[in-house]
């Protein structure tokens, strides 16, 4: 490019962008006239980012070309003028994709290479930098090398001009965090009250267990919701890593409450399935009380054995003969489903010899003397035991029953008291003797009184 004598000589300045004319093209460089006394040189690596491109296909002699002066040095014999189009191409790309390259925009980049401190990325020939601390949530250094050559999405967090070129800083970690939060929210919102979910025990605390319900969500299985049975220690029922099926019983805020026992039959319902009124069961005494005993017939299912159902024999002291922990064979006598209560009886498993007796007071019975004590004699009447007090043995006063009765002696006695519910039968010989004496007296009285003699006359004669 010629200069007139009146035109001041142009002096190139480094970093200046000028427009020149292509004067020569080879396979490795292009010469450009920028208005200085010597042409500027652009080597292939400063002309294009594509190493495979042919420079002769890109440029022709006479083409107008915009270049950036990267080096200018004047010498005694010759001057050096080096040019580049890379920053211009980059800026053109930025201008072309400026709507994509904005702060807070998420862009897909190709990872060019790993460098100290991070990764160099490419977006349509535009270079961006991903700091190592912002590569991933896990901060895994191995992942840095594995990403080279792959396409990743990152968010532009810085876009400014520093030095000779624009700088683009991106953040991939934030996108991963937001994606993670979105997945967590989606998973949490997919869980509803009354849902039945299969989970895994993640950790155990004194008050319950934390159960994983998915990739991100956990719920609390409180110790009171593990089983209908009494749970003293969580570890007695659960262990870390155990698969469990749970029901969501409450969801409030970010907390989820779970239950296992809500999916289980209650001990009471199991009892109802297995037992009915009239069944014979074996139970364990868990508590003794004044009015009866509590007996466990199924695990944590307790019925009442009333003291009136101990035995048909009111004199039998069952409570004094057994202790808590002892087992008894009993009969279920009633079940109240709504109140979840039931009653038991021991005596209803036993034969009641008194139930078949139909005696009445004043009736005479045959009785065998079985044993004699100081104040009472005990006799057997049709398989049951009756009592004869010493006062009922004879009309005469006696000091010892043995003076009148002997063991194994069979006598005819009168029933003077009979209560089968109380297993009570009181016999008397005295009443029979008194009746006989009265009958004898009445007979004698009839023989001595004539039909013409008054009772007054009889007494007068008796007094003489």
329 and 313 in one domain? Answer: yes
Instruction: Judge whether 5 lies within some domain.
Output: no
Helix boundaries (H) for 132-259: 141-146, 173-189
- Could you tell me if 211 and 173 lie in one domain? no
Same-domain check for residues 219 and 246: yes
Average pLDDT, the chain: 88
Condensed to tens digits (0 to 9), the pLDDT of residues 27-84 reads 889 999 888 778 889 998 888 877 788 888 888 999 999 998 988 888 767 788 899 8
Both 100 and 172 in a single domain? yes
What residue spans of 29-128 are helical by DSSP H?
Answer: 55-58, 86-96
pLDDT at 42: 92
pLDDT at residue 162 greater than cutoff 80: no
d(CA 325, CA 304): 15
Is residue 3, in this structure, part of any structural domain at all? no
The pLDDT tens digits for 179-204 are 999 999 999 999 999 999 999 999 99
- Regarding beta strands 255-259 and 218-222, do their DSSP bridges make them parallel or antiparallel, or are they unpaired? parallel
For residues 127-153, average pLDDT: 87
The answer to whether residue 96 is domain-embedded is yes
The last residue of a domain, from among 151, 178, 205: 178
Q: In whole angstroms, how far apart are CA 83 and each of 24, 31, 37, 72?
A: 14, 9, 15, 9
User: What is the domain extent for residue 64?
Assistant: 17-84
Within a domain: residue 217? Answer: yes
Name the pairing type of β-strands 126-131 and 118-123: antiparallel
152, 178, 204 - which closes a domain: 178
Q: If pLDDT is split at 50, 70 and 90, which confidence band does 1 have?
A: very low
pLDDT of residue 295: 97
| 363 and 428 fall within a common domain | yes
77 and 102 housed in the same domain: no
Domain boundary among 263, 290, 320: 263
Q: How high is the pLDDT of residue 2?
A: 42
Give the model confidence (pLDDT) of 400-429 as tens digits: 999 999 999 999 999 999 999 888 999 999
Please, which pLDDT band fits residue 5 given cuts at 50, 70 and 90? very low
Query: Based on the domain organization, do 162 and 196 belong to the same domain?
Result: no
- State the pLDDT at residue 454: 58
pLDDT tens, position by position, 324-379 = 999 999 999 999 999 999 999 999 998 888 888 989 999 999 999 999 999 999 99
Number of structural domains found in the chain = 5
Based on the domain organization, do 201 and 245 belong to the same domain?
yes
Which pLDDT score is estimated for 3? 41
Where residue 213 falls among pLDDT bands split at 50, 70, 90? very high
Q: How does residue 221 score in pLDDT terms, banded at 50, 70 and 90?
A: very high
Note the Cα 276 to chain centre separation in Å: 32
In a domain, 423, yes or no: yes
Q: Write the CATH number for 324.
A: 2.40.50.140
Do 212 and 283 lie in one domain? The reply is: no
E strands present in 175-279: 196-205, 208-212, 218-222, 243-252, 255-259
Asked if the structure places residue 183 within a domain, the reply is no
Q: Closest by alpha carbon to 172, among 143, 145, 137? A: 137
Q: Domain check: are 288 and 331 in the same one?
A: yes
Q: What confidence category does residue 452 fall into, taking pLDDT thresholds of 50, 70 and 90?
A: low
Give phi and psi for 7, each to the nearest 5: -90, 135
pLDDT of residue 89: 82
pLDDT at residue number 11: 84
Same-domain status, 196 and 226: yes
Q: What is the pLDDT of residue 87?
A: 82
Q: Let me know if residue 441 belongs to a domain.
A: no
For 4, residues 6+ apart whose C-beta sits below 8 A from its C-beta are: none
pLDDT at 4: 44
450 located within any domain: no
């Amino acid at each position: 490019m010629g200069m007139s004598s009146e035109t001041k000589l142009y002096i190139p300045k480094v970093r200046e962008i000028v427009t020149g004319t292509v004067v020569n093209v080879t396979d490795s460089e292009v010469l450009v006239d920028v208005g200085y006394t010597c042409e500027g040189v652009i080597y292939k690596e400063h002309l294009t980012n594509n190493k495979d491109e042919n420079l002769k296909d890109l440029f022709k002699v006479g083409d107008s070309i915009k270049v950036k002066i990267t080096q200018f040095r004047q010498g005694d014999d010759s001057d050096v003028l080096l040019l580049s189009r890379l920053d211009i191409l980059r800026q053109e790309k930025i201008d072309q994709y400026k709507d994509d390259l904005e702060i807070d925009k998420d862009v897909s980049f190709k990872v060019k290479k790993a460098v100290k401190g991070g990764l160099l990325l490419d977006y349509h020939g535009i270079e961006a930098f991903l700091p190592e601390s912002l590569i991933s949530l896990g901060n895994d250094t191995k992942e840095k090398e594995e990403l080279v050559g792959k396409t990743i999405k990152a968010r532009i967090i810085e876009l400014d001009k520093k030095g000779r070129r624009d700088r683009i800083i991106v953040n991939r970690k934030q996108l991963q965090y937001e994606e993670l939060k979105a997945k967590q929210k989606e998973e949490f919102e997919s869980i509803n009250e009354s849902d039945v979910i299969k989970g895994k025990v993640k950790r155990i605390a004194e008050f319950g267990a934390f159960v994983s319900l998915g990739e991100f969500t956990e719920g609390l299985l409180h110790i009171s919701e593990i089983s209908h049975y009494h749970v003293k220690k969580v570890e007695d029922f659960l262990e870390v890593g155990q698969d469990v099926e749970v029901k969501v019983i409450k969801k409030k805020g970010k907390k989820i409450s779970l239950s296992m026992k809500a999916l289980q039959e209650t001990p009471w319902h199991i009892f109802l399935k297995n037992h009915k009124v009239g069944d014979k069961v074996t139970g364990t005494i868990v508590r003794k009380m004044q009015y009866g005993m509590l007996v466990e017939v199924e695990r944590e299912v307790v019925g009442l054995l009333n003291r009136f159902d101990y035995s048909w024999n009111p004199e039998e002291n069952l409570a004094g003969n057994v202790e808590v922990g002892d087992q008894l064979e009993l009969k279920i006598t009633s079940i109240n489903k709504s109140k979840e209560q039931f009653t038991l009886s021991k005596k209803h498993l036993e034969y009641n010899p008194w139930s078949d007796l139909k005696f009445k007071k004043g009736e005479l019975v045959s009785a065998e003397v079985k044993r004699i004590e100081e104040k009472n004699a005990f006799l057997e009447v049709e398989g049951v035991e009756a009592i004869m007090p010493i006062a009922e043995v004879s009309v005469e006063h006696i000091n010892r029953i043995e003076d009148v009765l002997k063991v194994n002696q069979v006598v005819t006695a009168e029933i003077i008291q009979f209560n089968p519910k109380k297993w009570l039968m009181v016999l008397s010989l005295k009443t029979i003797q008194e009746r006989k004496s009265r009958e004898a007296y009445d007979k004698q009285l009839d023989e001595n009184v004539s039909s013409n003699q008054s009772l007054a006359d009889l007494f007068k004669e008796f007094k003489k």
